[in-house]
Amino acid sequence: MTDPNDVAAASASSAPVLVAIDGPAGSGKSSVSKQVARRLDYGYLDTGAAYRALAWLALERGVDTADEQAVRGVADDFDYAISLDPGDYWVRVGVTDVTDAIREPRVTDAVSGVARVRPVRESVNRLFRVLVAESGRRGVVVEGRDITTVVAPDAPVRVLLTAAPEVRAARRSREITTQDAAAVADALHRRDAADSTVVDFLTAADGVSVVDSTDLDFERTVEAVIDVVTVSLGTPQTGAPDGR
């Protein structure tokens, strides 16, 4: 078991340390990454929120997210802000708080159409790097779809968080109570299929550690990721507090 304080202390002189976490939908990236950030006293950057917010904006403007040129037009006027505080998470487009709105099914269905536009990805990736650099944090946990290979390929800690498809579908079903399990599983499969045409988030690149949470509960998954951070940064492993 790892003491998060050891990890945080070891990284204090080289801020911001990046912990890059990739994984498919339903793998637990967001909740696990946020808790890891809390435990290590790091910032937390949900990269998927940017694509969701852009999809939300496109829908609000009546733009067809299958129209690449139209999506690029929306991206050119994308006033985006996000909190990197894992204890006070919010997302805004202009002055509008869209933290909850970007999780609506209609936005989820539109995200892949936005994320597949390569110039948009390049622009958003530059934004991510600026957010991390200007965070003022000694470390930031960055999670998404191509973090270990495109956004932060040189991060000292790179993790692919995954789980069996049926487990991911079951977890997502528990999160989305307005749809039946079959519909959620189908949506998850379709999103994975669409996004995999743009980035490979199912295969670990060289140097990326795999954490398979199929048989792990939430706390054990968090601890497994913190263990990877500890080993990657070369910090000592000692008895960990309960993290509460």
pLDDT band at 69 (very low <50, low <70, confident <90, very high): very high
pLDDT band at 190 (very low <50, low <70, confident <90, very high): low
pLDDT band at 206 (very low <50, low <70, confident <90, very high): confident
- Residue 40, domain extent: 4-233
Q: Per-residue pLDDT averaged across 112-126, rounded?
A: 92
Residue at 185 is within a domain: yes
Alpha helices, H only, 177-217: 181-195
Residue at 118 is within a domain: yes
Q: What integer pLDDT is reported at residue 241 of this predicted model? A: 40
Distance, in Å, from the CA atom of 65 to the CA atom of 77, rounded to the nearest integer, reads 15
The Cβ of residue 178 has, within 10 Å, a number of other Cβ atoms equal to 8
Q: What are the Cα distances from residue 95, in Å, to 56, 101, 125? A: 14, 14, 22
Residue at 34 is within a domain: yes
Residue at 244 is within a domain: no
Q: What residues form the annotated binding site for ATP?
A: 23-31
Distance, in Å, from the CA atom of 105 to the CA atom of 187, rounded to the nearest integer, reads 10
**Range with the poorest average pLDDT among 94-108, 118-132, 162-176:** 162-176
Q: Per-residue pLDDT averaged across 65-72, rounded?
A: 94
What's the token pair of residue 64? 């067809």
Domain total for the chain?
A: 1
Q: What residues form the annotated binding site?
A: 23-31
Residue at 242 is within a domain: no
Q: What integer pLDDT is reported at residue 166 of this predicted model? A: 83
Distance, in Å, from the CA atom of 163 to the CA atom of 165, rounded to the nearest integer, reads 6
Q: Per-residue pLDDT averaged across 9-26, rounded?
A: 74
pLDDT(236) > 50: no
Helix (H, G, I), strand (E, B) or coil at 45: strand
Residue at 243 is within a domain: no
pTM recorded for the entire structure: 0.80
Residue at 238 is within a domain: no
| Higher per-residue pLDDT: 227 or 3 | 227
- Strands 43-46, 139-144: pairing is parallel
pLDDT(109) > 70: yes
Give the sign of the dihedral formed by CA 51, CA 57, CA 63, CA 64.
Answer: positive
Residue at 166 is within a domain: yes
What's the token pair of residue 118? 């390569």
CATH number at residue 154: 3.40.50.300
